Amino acid sequence: MKIQCKRVYDPAESGDGYRVLVDRLWPRGVKKADLALDEWNKTLAPSTDLRKSFHAEALDFCHFGEEYRAELARQRQEGERLADIARREGLTLLYAAKDREQNHALVLAEWLRGL
């Protein structure tokens, strides 16, 4: 299973496979026509409340990850669909967050690998 995470501002590459935007909000400064993607999946994005709590630093990354995995558990069927795509052709999870080390796409990728 090949899953990678990339910022939406990084260029698309031939080895990206199926490209999915996993943010609930469209990224700032990016025109829809300019972003190479196969789908925009809001279902697997963190809830608005969880996202706001994390950005307001009310939750550290560890607790954010726990809460987010609990949300993802309720979307297992959708996760299995993306995991199947990752097994067949590879999957790139696109996100807009500035932090490449602590973001929801990394938590999502780990969760998908476990399905």
Average pLDDT, the chain: 96
Rounded Cα gap, residues 106 and 114, in angstroms? 13
Buried b (16+ CB within 10 A) or exposed e, 13-22: eeebbbbbbb
Q: How many residues does the chain have?
A: 115
Give per-residue pLDDT as tens, 9-49.
999 999 999 999 999 999 999 999 999 999 999 999 999 99
Sheet holding 3-7, edge to edge: 3-7, 91-95, 18-21, 39-40
- If pLDDT is split at 50, 70 and 90, which confidence band does 58 have? confident
Per the structure, the complete domain to which residue 10 belongs is given by: 3-113
Structural domain count, the chain: 1
Contact 37, 19 (CB under 8 A): yes
